[in-house]
Homo-oligomer: A and B are copies of this chain.
Amino acid sequence: MPYGDVMNARVRSEERRAEIVGAALEVIAERGYRGASLAAVAERVGLTQQGLLHYFPTKEALLVAVLQERDRWDAVPDSQWRVDLLASLVEYNAMRPAIIQTFSALLGESVTEGHPARAYFTERYARVRASMTSVLRTAYGDRLPNGLTPERTAPLLVAVMDGLQYQWLLDPESVDMPGTFRDFLRLLGEPVD
């Protein structure tokens, strides 16, 4: 195959993958995590299930691709992050339960032996902790008002966000996720409205 054709084939394949990931996000939003079968996603993009498996060999691989795409959309350069923007992010998350449910369910599965999403979550946590450390250092320097270092505060910040999501997904009437997260920011010494 001439070089140009190889490149075109690669571009087409990447476009197709992106289309599948977009369709998966739609199916998740409509039917939830359990309803988002490979068959439903294949149907939406006009592929057979076999055809879809060519791009994503398992449902887990497709879901990881959906979460990676979400990470790209949500990405804020470290230099632009501010602690108060985290409150906005949690507020925003409370309006998109389907993707938060997908994240939380796959995170749960990922802690089991040899799970295909384990590497994604392990690397994501390392990256997010590093990013939050940098945000906290920009805001507070080497010590927060409460005396903790940014390095020691970052895993707490991430734990609060993830832990609250479970309580909220199970019982949205009882758990004010954004309000509880703002309480945590106040504990860190942030002046929050």
Contact = CB atoms under 8 A, between A and B. Distances in A.
A182 B160 CA distance: 14
Contact of A158 (B33, B118, B161, B163): B163
Interface of A: 32-35, 101, 104-115, 118, 121-122, 125-126, 129, 146-148, 152-153, 155-156, 158-164, 166-167, 169-171, 174-175, 179-180, 183-184, 186-188
Contacts of A108: 104-109, 111, 166
Contacts of A174: 126
B148 A158 contact: no
* Residue from the set A106, A111, A167, A180 with the largest chain B CB neighbour count within 10 Å: A111
Contacts of A122: 170-171
A110 B170 contact: yes
Given A118-B170, A159-B167, A167-B125, A112 B33 contact: yes
A111 B104 contact: yes
Contacts of A156: 160, 164, 180, 183-184, 187
A88 to B, nearest CB: 19
A145 to B, nearest CB: 10
B148 A186 contact: yes
Contacts of A164: 155-156, 159, 163
A170 B112 contact: no
A34 B187 contact: no
A117 to B, nearest CB: 10
Given A105-B112, A111-B101, A155 B171 contact: no
